Chains A and B, each alone.
Chain A
């Protein structure tokens, strides 16, 4: 049975080369573009080093506050990233998670140098010790600073491979000195270069924030705002509702204290999962699920419907040649539904081949053209949006590509197949299509 489909598909390719190739190109193009769009979202959600734990991480990135007597949550007084005391009050005391980390939200450009070298600019991120438990960096030598280093404000630094090579020419630099912002630090570890697609973990140099006075840089009422974000690692993502509930309790208690100053923190459904973070556009916003689904549906609609119209037309043309065969089969006892199935399955074989080509092109394009596709707006760091193989080869992508192939095939084949199977048998035998 399966042989028969393959035989006919091969025959197709020989007989109607042009129309078949056009069908394949159309499908491949559509799948290519759909998968690029999927990947653009995928890099924000799928796990890769050093954010391999994305499925278990919750983010507390921002805070938004208003007057306590204001009931309109869309009007805020101010919004932005957290101050250290606020982060501690709201998040550090959470009991359910495996780890909670407070770290500088976005890396800052800093001057670094070592003895005898000209200063160079690099991205610096200031973190606590839990940071290294949550994010899985690939240490090429040495290790990260630990809790006691952090508590005693030890001036240790972790640097990236590239920085090590630019400053020292090699990566065996643990123990050597480096000047950061005219302040001396010891290098305690060197890590593999990090893509700036890892928004939370990315930097080129990491130091304990206890060694600077960044924690005292606050803004806003009651010093609610500062320079920090929070990442929470759960033991299991099933713990998420529990963690969110725990956070709400903390938040309510915090608001009770702020009431005396007529301030309250606005509920933004914090902390956010990786997905929710990717659909929250501004620091004063909640995750915009509705907008995401609407936009996604619209894009899919365009990317599937327009090729489907073309493919439908091509399928109709190709079927023209097979009307006689369809008629003969029906004359010898084939049901209409069987004809319908056969056509859809044969087209699915072609679609799958085309889809595979499209997906392959997408992966190649994403790998070599990552700068073009993935450079985000308003990112001022010096990193590159390199995409890791663990994202490109994630089975979810292959499954999605096949799903879209299947859907595209279905919408484009169903009408011609239905029409072809309902032609009067004698007309079909005589090669008429209606």
Chain B
């Protein structure tokens, strides 16, 4: 009777933990699945360079200098000439791991895309980040296309996905931006989708690249400009310090000077901190749940082994082997888990369809295969924990000398 009671409690606990753990496993599974997908760029040996402007209180201030855009372009050109640097480009809220940006629809004829990340770049952007074309074009070829037609643009191959139209059939067609049909731009090529971060899903990775110019640029947009460079791997040693020192003399144009040089790995770390924190929180939650199961099973079965001393002793007397005793203990816990899993799976299925994990994940991606995989992993994790929790008590039961147990009784 007493065992029935404690079994009931264990089942309730296993049920609760199964439901909660599934959410965590699903979250982590989804994030790992997203993480490993191709990024569309390469940031090794790349650096992000920001400039600042002198204030009037500086002795070097030049009141006549009014165009920050032109100054930035000149600094970019100088960097391009630097012997250590393979490629350099100026861009506006376009580089990988940038925060912020403008999102607008692209339109061709009667077709309009969902909002797309509008990036303003110099053609060398493709060379800096080694982005490749959807039809196998090299970064150099992509850069050439934009160089030849400054009014044209390129877009990521996943635009129009799911709308039934092949994006490649639109190459060469004239599009317009911001719903402004007076200005037409020709689609020059498609490139492999560039993701904002490792945790950014495909549907958020829609972008387009057009040539940066000073027509639409206002001085107050200055902070959105940055220079990205790719350094020759041979010379990528203590690059930041060396460039900082040189920059004081050779990279000052007008009122602008280089104020920060950061490797893109830092930018990446900055953007990923949010996900890192979330993963930390969820993993801690999962660890807590599993640890509780471990303690619960351990304590319960330790106590049960004590209570059942005479029963176990009798079993041994009539011929059960040590392995039989051991196996019997273990299978009890797993049986409880299996009983708890059935309602747990039903609850999880319903909750996920009520889209309670919408706030965690992209909607419309709860494919049956993902559900099965995550449910299986959850079951496995808890089963492993149960196994570990029962190990010592089961071992103890196994080693019980029968005569002693019966004598005590």
Contact = CB atoms under 8 A, between A and B. Distances in A.
Please say whether the chains A and B touch (CB closer than 8 A).
Answer: yes
A25 interface: yes
Contacts of B292: 26, 29, 306-307, 310
A307 B293 CA distance: 9
Interface in A344-391: 372, 375-380
B299 A109 contact: no
A114 to B, nearest CB: 14
Interface in B240-279: 241, 244-245, 248, 257, 259-260, 270, 273-274, 277
Contact of B288 (A29, A119, A377): A29
B10 interface: yes
A351 B270 CA distance: 41
B56 A377 contact: no
Given A110-B52, A211-B57, A213-B56, A313 B274 contact: no
A235 B274 CA distance: 37
Interface centre among B12, B248, B299, B303 (most CB of A within 10 A): B299
Contacts of A29: 288, 291-292, 295
A306 B303 contact: no
Given A109-B259, A182-B58, A22 B220 contact: no
A313 B58 contact: no
Nearest to B53: A181
B314 interface: no
Contacts of B52: 110-111, 181
Contacts of B248: 119
A182 B257 contact: yes
A181 B277 contact: no
Contacts of B99: 378
Contacts of B302: 18-19, 22
Interface stretch (A5-13, A240-248, A314-322): A314-322
Nearest to A182: B58
Nearest to A211: B57
B298 A22 contact: yes
Contacts, number: 121
A182 B273 contact: no
B2 interface: yes
Given A111-B259, A305-B16, A213 B273 contact: no
Interface string B50-61: 001011111110
A372 B299 contact: no
B277 A377 contact: yes
B393 to A, nearest CB: 9
Contact of B13 (A110, A118, A309, A380): A309
A262 interface: no
Contacts of A109: 259-260
B12 to A, nearest CB: 6
A302 B6 contact: no
Contacts of B244: 118-119
B342 to A, nearest CB: 19
B220 A183 contact: no
Contacts of A378: 99, 270, 273-274
Interface in B275-312: 277, 280, 284-285, 288-289, 291-292, 295-296, 298-300, 302-303, 307
A151 interface: no
A213 B299 contact: no
B260 A316 contact: no
Nearest to A307: B292
Contacts of B257: 111, 182
A121 B285 CA distance: 38
Contacts of B16: 305-306, 309
Interface string A201-223: 00000000001110001010000
B97 to A, nearest CB: 12
A22 B293 CA distance: 11
B2 A433 contact: yes
B391 interface: no
B337 interface: no
A310 B10 CA distance: 8
A18 B306 CA distance: 11
Complex A-B, nearest 7 residue pairs according to Cβ-Cβ distance, in ascending order: A377-B274, A22-B299, A310-B296, A317-B303, A183-B58, A309-B13, A212-B55
Interface of A: 18-19, 22-23, 25-26, 29, 33, 109-111, 118-119, 121, 153, 155, 181-184, 211-213, 217, 219, 302-303, 305-307, 309-310, 312-314, 316-317, 320, 372, 375-380, 433-434
Given A29-B288, A320-B303, 10 more contacts: A121-B259, A155-B57, A183-B54, A217-B220, A306-B292, A313-B6, A320-B2, A372-B280, A377-B274, A378-B274
Interface of B: 1-2, 5-6, 9-10, 12-13, 16-17, 20, 52, 54-60, 99, 220, 241, 244-245, 248, 257, 259-260, 270, 273-274, 277, 280, 284-285, 288-289, 291-292, 295-296, 298-300, 302-303, 307
21 contacts: A26-B296, A33-B288, A109-B260, A118-B241, A118-B244, A118-B245, A153-B57, A181-B54, A181-B58, A306-B16, A309-B9, A310-B13, A313-B10, A313-B296, A317-B6, A317-B299, A317-B300, A317-B303, A376-B273, A378-B274, A380-B270
